[in-house]
Amino acid sequence: MESKQQLLEIISKSENDRCMYLSELFKYIPDETARTISYKTIQKNHYIIHSEAPCDTVYIILSGNVTGMDYHKQGRAYYFMDFAHMYIVGDFEVFGGIPEYTVSICATEECQILSIPSRSYLQWVQHDENALFLRIKNIMSMLVFEKKHEREYMFMNCKERLVKYLVKSYENKQHESPGRKYKIARTQSELSDRIGFNVRSIQRSIAALEKEKLISVENGKITISHEQFLQLKQYECK
């Protein structure tokens, strides 16, 4: 990155909420810090961060979505959090003085990102009250939401978790094609990893939702119309 101005121009091309937050966050970043930032594209299903790798970089997600991943002892992936409104990853460990990343972060779609060395990032926010306040506010908001979500999720059955996942997936895609039918590209095995139930439970839940006309299944993939999405939202709120 050549300057703060170039950084802000790149940020201005991101979507509305992300653009507003990041523009305000980087409002007072010094040019010398901006010059340590690099721009890159991460392909879908590629990792941005690997758990237990040295925490030497903080990443800013300009476009696309990422998810937090962990692994069971058997080596099976466990997806525990989608970072739909978390536009910066890797700085939890920086603020905590933790030398290694504590979670893997994977791109769920193609992402445009910025990377900044952890040392440069920490030196900057320590002297930028505006940036530090915005990050603490965002991090605390995410932690409160995550804990509430964990408590609710713990007591949900497979069907309830699947509905919650489908509603969130549909909402995350609405900025691309509002009101249109949305196809869930994930396989039943991938849904099993996401939701935390075995494939047979996923199959039974899909069959039940299809029977209730809350979803459609086309060529083995779940599809959701806008009308079905509204019905799923009502089901979720019961």
Structure tokens at 45: 């299903």
Q: How far is the C-alpha of 47 from the C-alpha of 145, rounded, in Å?
A: 24
- Give the pLDDT confidence of 128-147 residue by residue, as tens digits: 999 999 999 988 888 887 77
- Give the pLDDT confidence of 9-31 residue by residue, as tens digits: 999 998 888 999 999 999 999 99
Q: Model's pTM, two decimal places?
A: 0.73
What pLDDT does residue 194 have?
81
Q: Which residues of the chain have pLDDT under 70?
A: 70-85, 174-178
* Cβ-based neighbours of 162, under 8 Å, separated by 6 or more: 191, 195, 202, 205, 206, 209
What pLDDT does residue 180 have?
81
CATH topology of domain 4-152: Jelly Rolls (2.60.120)
> In the chain, which segments carry CATH 2.60.120.10?
4-152
CATH topology of domain 156-236: Arc Repressor Mutant, subunit A (1.10.10)
> In the chain, which segments carry CATH 1.10.10.10?
156-236
